[in-house]
Amino acid sequence: MKKSISERLDELRTSLRALNNAYDHFEKTLDEAYFYDIVGRIRVLVCTGSRTMSPLLIELSKELGIELEIFSHPPRTIGKERIHDSLVIGKTWSTHPMGNFQKFTLEEWLATPMYFLRHSRCFLSRNYVIREIAEKEGGAHFDKRITPLIAQLRSVNYGIGKKIKLNGLQMILLDISPAIYLLGERMIQFYELKKIEDSIVLTEQGRQKSIVAHKKKIFELNSYFEKLRPFNMFSFEVEFPES
């Protein structure tokens, strides 16, 4: 028997809360155990690529007719420049247009080439990177071998302040995780807002009060995630020319 929209929304709320809790705990403690929670939760919410995968957030957005929109860098391709390596050093997305950012749906954003793998000299999508981390590093499975992507990500270290050092795996997930949480929470608020607008039970005064409250919540979500720390730099990959 198929689950109702209400039941699936409850699952989404719980999953988003679990993702946010893992993000907060990892940021405070750098405990690797929370890293596994983050990548596993992202995978079940948004990853595509096989018939057995049913990304809860993406599927619900389609059923509800609510687009998950985000602004980010345009797709990367290999041009004439000789790229040696890349590093995500900050937040690669925004809730509003800025600079050279363009609008994407969540699926488009996840499928956009963004991380350069020197082993095969190509750009990989966020969806591919998340699945690779989850399926090789413990979010869904542990692998006996270290793939070129995992080896490259683990070899990169970036310092924030004097004490905090993060590797490439952690930097990518700490960039993607808040975006998923924001889009999920915002979709829920838009869905609840539509229910209120269509309600025939509420008085007009009650309806308007609820509409204002939900719009305020959406505004606060957008404002909060524009001021994320420590990932408050709108930078993409750092490219190092080959010597």
Structure pTM? 0.82
**Burial track 179-193 (b if 16+ CB lie within 10 A, e otherwise):** bbbbbbbbbbbbbeb
Question: Is 131 a domain residue?
Answer: yes
Question: Is 64 a domain residue?
Answer: yes
- CA dist 187 to 14, 128, 182, 236, Å? 14, 24, 8, 26
Distance CA 205, CA 196 (A): 12
Q: What is the DSSP letter of 83?
A: B
Tell me which residue range forms the domain holding 75: 5-184
Distance CA 58, CA 70 (A): 14
Question: Is 235 a domain residue?
Answer: no
3-class state of residue 6 by DSSP: helix
CA 126 remoteness from chain centre: 9
Domain count, the chain: 1
Nearest to 120 by CA among 148, 81, 151: 148
Interval 24-68: pLDDT, tens = 898 888 888 898 899 999 999 999 887 777 899 999 999 999 999
Interval 60-118: pLDDT, tens = 999 999 999 999 888 876 654 555 455 666 678 888 888 888 999 999 999 988 887 77
Question: Is 199 a domain residue?
Answer: no
